[in-house]
Amino acid sequence: MNRREKMPHLKIVTHIQYFFSTLRRNFLITVIFFIFLISLIGAFVFYQIESGKNPNLHSFGQALWWVIVSITSVGYGDIVPITSTGKILGVFIIFTGVAVFSMFTAIISSIFVTQKLKEERGLKQVSEKNHIILCGWNHTAEQILKVIFQKNTGSSVVMINQLGEDQVQNIMFTFKENLLQFVRGDFAQEEILSRANITRARAVIIIPDASAGLTARNDEKTILTAFSVKAIHPKIKVYAHILDRDNEPYLKKAMVEDYIVSDALSGVLLGEMVTAPGIPQSIQQLIRGGDSGNLIREALPHELAGKTFGEALQYFRKFHQLPIAIVKEQKALSLTHILSEDYSDLDKFIEEKFQAAGKSLRKGDFLDVRINPADDTVLEKDISLIIIR
């Protein structure tokens, strides 16, 4: 036998070895294979024994049907063995079927139990799409979830943190009516972000993580995660919360969509409490999240497209609402290769001229927010309004 004649035989042997290797690795496939094998062999033997003697048996298909209903212990009784050998075969098929199907049921049950345990422990791969990922956990996280679920009904959120199982169960129970999933691990690691299906997500929120203990290095982790997320999925929107204002330049370099700094408004609010009582309380009422929040963003109604802001004021006052700002998604013009981070007077002058022309020197797209615009400002169809309701 020459080399060419040996090749097909070698391929067949290789396929057979691979098949049996797969059976050894996967017990479920092994059980299914045995059910299939027993059904075919049992049907063949039964047909050979009963054919021509059993008036109810006319084809191999009927013999196969008898084996299947016998293995599953259903036993419709439409076909029964009439020969002694056939009855012995029936007993063997029934006992074998009970054993094999018990194993099959046990394996299926264990698969579902394992998947449930993985889900509860945050070890399951997320298959969600167009979801929001919340990285980290602290005292603000529940409020973030409440605002997202109340203002975006139907939104799906995936949490990534290292909370204990009891704490996670309490959170899941609190938001049991919402689409909330959990991934356990360090969100700065690419593997954990991948498990949260970051490539299919629409936004990421990164907050100081108390689940692993708040430290002075929390901002470093936030910044590292922002860079990692943008590297994996450059088009995803990233929003961050940092503790130290000195770390702002790093978030800008990471090109996050927006960020907040802890206690950035505390000094202003405390000062206003003394000098202008009522202003801090008004601000708190406006930005309070949840059902009691009085500040909303709404797409421009089509009937107001091309109209002025003054006409929009009259339109919304009929509904006891008050528009206070225009929001537009701007396409930024990046000149960072000629402008430094520490702008000179000339840099500032150039930036002011671009802003006056409705352009920006920022990296990436951003939101252009104009508070209390002039009444004669024309409203474009692709803008949104910030409204006090």
Chain segment 159-186, per-residue pLDDT in tens: 999 888 889 889 999 998 899 999 999 9
pLDDT band at residue 200 under the 50/70/90 scheme: very high
Comparing 183-197, 353-367, 373-387, which segment has the lowest mean pLDDT? 353-367
Compute the 3-state secondary structure of the chain and give helix, strand, coil in percent, each to the nearest 5. 50, 15, 35
Query: Stretch 297-326: mean pLDDT, rounded?
Result: 91
> Are residues 274 and 290 in contact, defined by beta-carbon separation less than 8 angstroms?
no
Name the strands in the sheet holding 258-261, side by side, starting at the edge strand that comes first in the sequence: 179-184, 156-161, 132-135, 203-206, 237-242, 258-261
Q: Which of 273, 281, 365, 286 lies closest to 325, judged by CA? A: 286
- What's the rounded mean pLDDT across residues 124-136? 91
Query: Looking at per-residue confidence, does 166 or 115 come out higher?
Result: 166
Q: What is the mean pLDDT of residues 85-110?
A: 81
Summarize pLDDT for 259-285 with one digit per residue, the tens. Answer: 999 877 778 788 888 888 888 888 877
- Report pLDDT for 152: 76
pLDDT at 338: 46
pLDDT of residue 208: 92
Pairing of strands 132-135, 258-261: unpaired
pLDDT at 55: 83
Say if residue 368's pLDDT is above 90.
no
Q: Output the CA angle 217-258-382, nearest 5 degrees.
A: 165
* Coil/strand/helix, residue 296: strand
d(CA 276, CA 285): 16
Dig out the tokens for 243 from the structure.
């503790």
CA-CA distance, 234 to 169, in Å (whole number)?
33
Pairing mode of beta strands 132-135, 203-206: parallel
pLDDT for the residue 7: 52
pLDDT of residue 310: 92
In the predicted model, what is the mean pLDDT of residues 321-346?
66
- Would you state the structure tokens that stand for residue 83, as one six-digit string? 């020969």
Instruction: Round to whole Å and give the CA distance between 233 and 195.
Output: 14
- 3-state SS string for 186-217: CCCCHHHHHHCCHHHCCEEEECCCCCCCCCCC
Q: Does pLDDT of 230 surpass 90?
A: yes
Per the CB < 8 A criterion, the answer to whether 133 and 158 are in contact is yes
Report the chain's mean pLDDT, rounded to a whole number.
Answer: 81
The model's pLDDT over 279-311, given as tens digits with 9 standing for 90+, comes to: 888 887 787 655 556 888 889 999 999 999 999
Model pLDDT, residue 239 = 95
Q: What is the pLDDT of residue 381?
A: 86
User: Is the confidence at residue 95, as pLDDT, over 80?
Assistant: yes
Q: How confident is the model at residue 337 (pLDDT cuts 50, 70, 90)?
A: very low
- pLDDT for position 227: 95
Residue that wins the pLDDT comparison between 112 and 130: 130
Domains of the chain plus CATH, in order, are 16-120 (1.10.287.70), 132-262 (3.40.50.720), 294-388 (3.30.70.1450)
The pLDDT of residue 99: 81
